[in-house]
Amino acid sequence: MFRKLFLSIRSIVMRNRLEGNLDRELRFHLEMETEKNIKRGLPREEARLEALRSFGSVEKVKDECRDESGVSFFDALWQDLRYGFRVLLKRPAFTLIALVVLALGIGANTAIFSVVYGVLLRPLPYDRGEDIVFARQQAPQAGITNLPFSVKELNDYREQNQSFQSLVEYHSMSFILYGRGEPKYVTTGVVSHNFFDVLGVKPLLGRTFLPEDEEKGAEAALVLSYKYWRESYGGDPNIVGEKLQMNDRPHIVIGVLPSIPQYPQENDVYMPTTACPIRSSQRVIENRNARMVNVFGRLRPGVSLDQARADFTLIAARFKEQHPESYPDSRGYGVGLMSLKEELTREARPTLLILLGTAGLVLLIACANVANLMLAHLMRRERELAIRAALGAGRRRLIRQLLTESALLATGGGILGILFAAGGLHLLVAFAARFTTRAAEIEIDASVLAFTLIISVLTGILFGLLPALAMKGSLTSSIREGGQTTAGHRRHRLRNSLLVSQVAVSFVLLIGAGLMVRSLLRLQQVEPGFDPAGVLTMSINLNWSKYNRPEQTRDFFTRLVRKVQESPGVSSAAVASTFPMDQIGINYGPFNRNIQIEGRLVGPSEPVTQADFRIASPDYFKTIKLPLIKGRYFTEADDEKSLRVALINQSMAKHQWMNEDPIGRKVSLDQGETWLTIVGIVGDVKQYGPDRESTDELYTPFAQTPGGRALLIRTSGDPMSLARQTQNAAYETDPEVAITDVRALEQVRDETLAAPRLMTTLLLLFAGLALTITTAGIAGVIALSVSQRTNEIGIRMAMGATPARVIWALTRQGLLLVTFGVAIGLGGALGLSHILRGLLFDVQPTDLITYTAVSFVLIVTAAVACFLPARKATAIDPIQALRAD
Amino acid sequence: MAKEKSDLLQGTLDMLILKTLALDAMHGWGIAQRIEQISDGVLNINQGSLYPALYRLEQQGWIESEWGSSDNNRQAKYYKLTRAGRKQLAQETQNWERISAAIAQILRAS
């Protein structure tokens, strides 16, 4: 082996010399022979010709010598490549189909893998990101798994835990920032001073926070994100030291972050906890139940996650003992730790893995398809190959030739695939961003390219080797017997099993896509409980430091709503705490508040009554067409001076009063200090998206409980046409408001379906791809069968078979394979579809309708794919067919 | 030239070359002449086919080559047997004798 390699290399080095030597050697031979002939008495010219004659073709001999000597390895490779190119170029249709099929398969995998790699595999872009752990409090009895910490709790954990080097506090708020230009509503990370140090983030400009920035009374400091700095300050390097107005006090910019993905969320600016007016207020600091901050930290070296969990569990038990009032049994209390990476990717993981698996299956189908194409291609070239074999080409050489062709195809497919992937990647990034902030890290980098290279090579070997192995032996026999050989039958079997597996895998993919479609349809059919058509929504964010009394808020919105109502095109307008299906609400879940019901005592071990608390002005219900079930809506008369009232939704009426009439009953939100009289029951609303059950809801009138930020306007026309005039009305009422989320309510509702819709689209795309490739494969197999059985078909027709019988015979052959494939696919789908369960809404993974529909689609498509080439068979002229072989 | 000529059996050419070289180092033309002479012109060697065989044998390590002067003072490439080649020749000779004896026996029997 080594000797061979050595000789090969040596002969490349010495290649020119070898060529010269070969020439000299053969010339010597011919001269000697010529001289011998002259000695025998022939004239010189005759002697030379006689010498050449007895030698044979000099060029052929040289060729064979080159083949025999070590030059052949690399020479042959080059020859194979050139030959491969020629063969591929000579069959542009085959090459094009194979390239496209491979490019789609490899491209899909490259794109999905770049997402999987960026989100799930790539190490976090932080200093030893694997040591960073997120903490979560839980109230299991109340079904809450993600309870933030109160400042008191955080301080206790800080003091008592032995597992963390340090704990970091984080929460995000929105404030209005008055800097250069218009007032900007900025998302603000409110963090402890060690936030950036624990993450290991170094500033691009200036510095990050120091302990003294978080001291009480320190000057408010801001760190800007790279994106915000670029967009709002044009990347001005002199920004550090500038004072920006926020929350009625100056904030000094101390630094700018580098361009890195931010965790846990993207923020425009960061401030220390002491600069946040809410976080630094006494009622937050002193109240153990004011839970609003997230906590994460870096484990001490050598401390495992399990040790840290045990440590925290111990502290949690101590809390329960020392402050039973804050941790009622009815809610339960626990604390959980999760690595930052898991925390950031847990929502995305199942979806991405399903997509990767799907893409992998598509690639397998592509492989099987191209292998079949190659095989067909090979069967047509059988005689050529046999002749080459007869002329002395070794079987290994022929296999190498085939592998070279498949490698060329796979490489081409890989390159095209990367282009496909690069073109479609931004869609996937937008998709992934719905699940994880890591989406920002997705790119086609060296690792992704390496992955593509590897799958291209594996693909090439897979679809190249199968046909090559099928050629095993009996090449010579095909000359003698004209194709109808045992090897031919083996190849047919291989082709058939490749086809069956394509059908089976396609079936599985179609079932996956079908189930997702069914689920999406179900989601779309969900009655949201309101009518989003014709409604415009926007968030009006007040400079809250100026609105510190409820009357001011009430006054602002009362004036604004009145002004908007008088505008042309507006049929009704209202203010509310939020609007249905608001993304913030979806992210954070119901705003549940404890409720006392008059005359009803709740034991200490019973669950506390809770309801999602909402504020609405009288026209809110009319504006979103939320139906009244019983009693009355709020009216203008329900103001601050009149009786305190409330509305409840149907669910709450059912859960709390069963068969009794809740109207006239009293509830309290403040442990019985004030009582609200229930005046009506309204319909349930899918507040948090169509896939979530409606919770118990309680509405209070805006005039009695001023608060909220959502402005809703109903119009008979296009809601967006009112956007500008409404915003102007808001600015006229108070120029310092910041307006966000200006959108049609229909668009808001559509947004809630964006993720399942995109997932469905992707799965449909993959399944469609698989079906197309497979259908083409079926048609190809039948077409080849027709061309190979010309003889037999001719005989049958000569014997009087009708065209219909011939077509049926051929179609049946294809359908038999397809049915077989569907049967296998059925087993596979039943085994695999439960993986999708988490993504399905109101559809069983074994949904009969989906299975029936998919089988039907697949078999009908396959029947057409069989019929079209089979029909050509009837055009065969029996006489010509019989002469064909 | 009226003599009947026999085609060379596949693989026998290699053996004949090895046998020829077992006596002495020789160039290609010389090998061709010698085989023809010794077989008394019965074996019909296509002279051209000798060279690929030589290259093959060299690649297999049974013979090696070097340039030297021929009798008439011309540069010629001389081949000589290696130790591996000698072993190979012994083996092939043995094989050949066994097979030809067997064939001869069969032919006699009928």
* Residue A41 contacts B, CB cutoff 8 Å: no
Q: How many CB pairs under 8 A join A and B?
A: 65
Of A300, A306, A344, A319, give the one whose Cα is nearest residue A441.
A344
The tokens for A852 are: 């029936």
The model's confidence at residue A511, banded by pLDDT at 50, 70 and 90, is very high
| Mean pLDDT calculated for residue range A793-814 | 83
Per the prediction, chain A carries an average pLDDT of 85
| DSSP SS3 for A5 | helix
Looking at residue A534, its pLDDT comes to: 93
The model's confidence at residue A8, banded by pLDDT at 50, 70 and 90, is low
C-alpha neighbours within 13 Å on the C-beta side of residue A328: 14
| DSSP SS3 for A685 | coil
Looking at residue A251, its pLDDT comes to: 93
* Alpha-helix residue ranges (DSSP H) falling in A204-288: 226-233, 282-285
| Mean pLDDT calculated for residue range A195-218 | 91
- State how far the alpha carbon of A332 is from the alpha carbons of A141, A152, A279, A320, A322, in Å: 5, 19, 26, 9, 15
The model's confidence at residue A492, banded by pLDDT at 50, 70 and 90, is confident
B→A interface, C-beta within 8 Å: 27-29, 32-33, 46-49, 51-56, 58-59, 61, 67, 70, 74-77
Q: Over 50: is that where the pLDDT of A483 sits?
A: no
Looking at residue B32, its pLDDT comes to: 87
DSSP H or E run through A23: helix A15-39
For A603-627, what is each residue's pLDDT tens digit?
766 777 888 889 999 999 999 999 9
Assembly ipTM: 0.87
For A425-451, what is each residue's pLDDT tens digit?
888 888 888 777 788 778 888 888 899
Looking at residue A709, its pLDDT comes to: 83
Q: Over 60: is that where the pLDDT of B6 sits?
A: no
| Mean pLDDT calculated for residue range A232-253 | 90
Residues of B in Cβ contact (< 8 Å) with A29? 27-29, 32, 47, 51
Looking at residue A395, its pLDDT comes to: 66
- Residue pair A298/A340 in contact (Cβ under 8 Å)? The answer is no
Of A498, A502, A499, A473, give the one whose Cα is nearest residue A488.
A473
A69 → closest Cβ in B47, B55, B76? B55
User: A397 or A859: which carries more pLDDT confidence?
Assistant: A859
CA distance B11 to chain A (A): 14
Q: How far apart are CA A824 and CA A502, in angstroms?
A: 10
Looking at residue B100, its pLDDT comes to: 86
CA angle A881, A884, A885 (to 5 degrees): 125
Looking at residue A719, its pLDDT comes to: 92
Looking at residue A481, its pLDDT comes to: 47
For A553-601, what is each residue's pLDDT tens digit?
899 999 999 999 999 999 999 999 888 988 777 766 677 788 889 888 7
| Cross-strand bridge partners of residue B80 | B64
For A64-111, what is each residue's pLDDT tens digit?
787 776 655 666 677 778 878 887 888 888 888 889 989 999 999 999
Predicted model pTM:
0.71
Q: How far apart are CA A388 and CA A392, in angstroms?
A: 7
Q: How far apart are CA A872 and CA A228, in angstroms?
A: 66
For A331-348, what is each residue's pLDDT tens digit?
778 898 988 888 778 778
CA distance B52 to chain A (A): 4
Q: How far apart are CA A45 and CA A729, in angstroms?
A: 111
For A268-312, what is each residue's pLDDT tens digit?
999 999 998 888 888 788 888 878 889 999 999 999 999 999 999
The DSSP string of B2-52 is -S--BPPPTTHHHHHHHHHHHHS-EEHHHHHHHHHHHTTT-B---HHHHHH
* Residue A70 contacts B, CB cutoff 8 Å: yes
Looking at residue A827, its pLDDT comes to: 92
* Cα four-point dihedral sign B71, B74, B76, B80: positive
Candidate from A538-547, A641-650, A653-662, A825-834 with smallest mean pLDDT: A538-547
Sequence-distant (6+) residues with CB within 8 A of A513 are: A760, A763, A764, A766, A767, A768
Looking at residue A390, its pLDDT comes to: 66
Q: Over 60: is that where the pLDDT of A115 sits?
A: yes
- Residue pair B62/B84 in contact (Cβ under 8 Å)? The answer is yes
Q: How far apart are CA A251 and CA A190, in angstroms?
A: 13
Q: Over 50: is that where the pLDDT of A474 sits?
A: no
Q: Over 60: is that where the pLDDT of B29 sits?
A: yes
Q: Over 70: is that where the pLDDT of A136 sits?
A: yes
| Mean pLDDT calculated for residue range A668-685 | 91
Looking at residue A482, its pLDDT comes to: 47
Looking at residue A881, its pLDDT comes to: 64
Looking at residue A143, its pLDDT comes to: 59
CATH numbers and ranges of domains, chain B: 12-109 (1.10.10.10)
Candidate from A388-402, A447-461, A634-648, A714-728 with smallest mean pLDDT: A388-402
Interface mutation target, options A65, A67, A72, A391, chain B, most CBs of B under 10 Å: A65
Do residue B28 and residue A25 have CB atoms under 8 angstroms apart? yes
By C-alpha distance, the chain A residue nearest B31 is: A29
Looking at residue A562, its pLDDT comes to: 94
CA distance A55 to chain B (A): 5
The tokens for A378 are: 């090979």
The model's confidence at residue A647, banded by pLDDT at 50, 70 and 90, is very high
Percentage of chain B exceeding pLDDT 70: 88
- For helices A44-55 and A58-68, give the axis angle rounded to 10 degrees: 40
DSSP A280: T
Do residue A61 and residue B48 have CB atoms under 8 angstroms apart? yes
Question: 10 Å Cβ neighbour count for A583?
Answer: 14
Looking at residue A289, its pLDDT comes to: 80
Looking at residue A557, its pLDDT comes to: 93
- For helices A790-798 and A754-788, give the axis angle rounded to 10 degrees: 70
For A384-394, what is each residue's pLDDT tens digit?
777 766 665 66
B29 → closest Cβ in A21, A29, A60? A29
Question: 10 Å Cβ neighbour count for A283?
Answer: 8
- Residue indicated by tokens 């697949």: A858
Sequence-distant (6+) residues with CB within 8 A of A167 are: A135, A154, A157, A158, A161, A192, A295, A296, A297
By C-alpha distance, the chain B residue nearest A1 is: B60
End-to-end CA distance of chain A: 45
Q: Over 90: is that where the pLDDT of A535 sits?
A: yes
